[in-house]
Structure 1
Amino acid sequence: MSGLGFVIFETALGACALAWSANGVCGVRFPHPDRGAVEAEARRAWPQARLLEPPSEVAAIVADLRALTAGEPRDFGDVAIDLSGVPDFQRRVYDLARAIPCGQTLTYGDVAARIGAPGAARAVGEALGRNPVPILVPCHRVLAAGGRRGGFSAPGGVAAKMRLLQIEGALALERLPLFAPQASSASRK
């Protein structure tokens, strides 16, 4: 990846934008039905970037994002991302979120504890709400306590979050806390 560029592309859910630098993907804008609105947002978000034909590694990411929005699970854990300028706390949150396997979830409190900041669940939620590369940093895999949905700042809100989790297989009833298999009374003794 070289230079600072961005691309607008169509998906099953609407137009998306993706920006890249020499160090990796530095921005993703979630699907919106109005391509012009996505391009305007991209130009505001990445004023130094130019609308370009993406290099092959970016084109492969775009193809995977298209497949994901069409209902095919994808893992973006190996995609290079550029988080330069992101504060240390947010970077730790994003690194941990990237380590959550496809089809699994953690809570905001779990993330806070695992990055060494127990009690910082709200700060984790705020960091995820500022995620510059949603999907690549899978903030949708982080739920509120007790398996509640929590928020999702991308277009489509919580419904989009739930759709992504459904595509990834994280919403199977046996994986949700309320429906998880319980230990038998004999094994609890």
Structure 2
Amino acid sequence: MQFTNINSPVGSLTLVASEIGLAGVYFEEHRHFKGIEGWLRAPDLPIFEQVSQQLIEFFAGERITFDVPLDLSGGTAFQQQVWRALQEIPFGTTLSYGELAQHLSNPQAVRAVGAANGRNPISIIIPCHRVIAANGALTGYAGGLKNKQHLLKFEAEKHQNFGLQFTQ
């Protein structure tokens, strides 16, 4: 694995890549980040330049989706299914954990969906921050609730630039 650190409006982010693609975007105090021991620092890796540019565009309100190759191999088949579904949640919108489970045709799997959502290694780009409790509460976020709140507020403010509707 290779990594670099970049600055963003939500603080320092650690980007992680494998030979397959981007494998992680971690906040400074990310709950499930195991660290970089044994990994190679590679700030000039082309994928890191691509991700950095797309994140700059995202935070400037110029981008609502990402198109970088992803490596989801660190997750189980179910986690990967959830992470792919998260990528379908449009910018500026939210879903509840139950709605996401329904979308996956597995309405009984609300807790499992929540656990998989919490283990998403590619924050922001795989927008797990767009999943909230059924009552609208902002629950658990591996990158910290402050960051989840910041991202949702940011998207709510920027969504009008793209003609989208924000639901919460």
What is the TM-score normalised by the length of structure 2?
Answer: 0.82
Name the counterpart of 1:54.
44
CA drift of 1:176 comes to 3.8
Which whole-Å deviations, capped at 9, do the CAs of 1:50-72 have from their partners, x for residues lacking one?
0012323321211333454x563
Q: Is 1:101 aligned with 2:95?
A: no
Q: Is 1:133 aligned with 2:130?
A: no
Question: What secondary structure sits across from 1:59 in the alignment?
Answer: helix
Contact 1:165/1:171 (<8 A) preserved: no
> How many corresponding residue pairs?
162
Name the counterpart of 1:24.
21
Once the two structures are superposed, the pairs formed by residues 88-127 of structure 1 within 5 Å of their partners are: 88-127=77-116
CA drift of 1:171 comes to 9.4
Q: Which runs of 5+ in 1 are unaligned?
A: 33-37, 178-189
Separation in structure 2 between the aligned mates of residue 161 and residue 17 of structure 1, nearest angstrom: 17
Once the two structures are superposed, the pairs formed by residues 1-189 of structure 1 within 5 Å of their partners are: 4-31=1-28, 44-68=34-58, 72=61, 74-154=63-143, 157-169=144-156, 175-176=166-167
Considering only aligned residues, what root-mean-square deviation do their CA atoms show, in Å?
2.7
What is the TM-score normalised by the length of structure 1?
Answer: 0.73
Q: Which runs of 5+ in 2 are unaligned?
A: 160-164
Which whole-Å deviations, capped at 9, do the CAs of 1:97-136 have from their partners, x for residues lacking one?
0111111111100111111211211111111111111112
Contact 1:151/1:158 (<8 A) preserved: yes
Distance 1:108 1:162, change over 3 A: same
